[in-house]
Amino acid sequence: TIEKAQPGLYGLCPTIFHNGLACISMMRETGNNKYTVWARRFANTIKKWVDKGNPNVKHYDALLNAELAALFGKHSLAMRFFGSAILFSGSGGFKNDQALVYERFGEYNLKQGNVNEAKYGLEQAIQLYEAWGAHG
């Protein structure tokens, strides 16, 4: 089947990933744990695709893990996962996703009071978004 040949169909992967990020954001905003349950489901789906050998979703897996670790106050784990997400998205050539990772990394560090790390992350995000073609 197609799923065996390419775990995680291309068009579905970004949708599942963005749904996971949206759920994490809603959990932060509302405090409603139902969003954490859904975020974990989306993250688990992506993890299954990674485990089945899809190299194009490793950065999604790492960023969702970073965001979940951050959500639960696991700072050092979050930082490790942010670093992995930056590396995986960069080595995979996903500039737009790498920009998003740096943006989320910057925002996380800003909330933690790490101004220098936040500035670095947000500057990298802007440069990558511009290199990708986003201007404005």
Q: What is the pTM for the complete model shown?
A: 0.91
Quote the CA–CA distance of 83 and 105 in Å, as a whole number. 9
What digits encode the pLDDT tens for the residues 99-130? 999 999 999 999 999 999 999 999 999 999 99
Give the helix ranges, DSSP H, for the chain. 2-5, 12-30, 34-51, 58-71, 75-91, 95-112, 115-132
Other C-beta atoms closer than 10 Å to the C-beta of 42 total 21
What digits encode the pLDDT tens for the residues 65-95? 999 999 999 999 999 999 999 999 999 999 9
Please answer whether residues 96 and 132 qualify as being in contact, where contact means their C-beta atoms are separated by less than 8 angstroms: yes
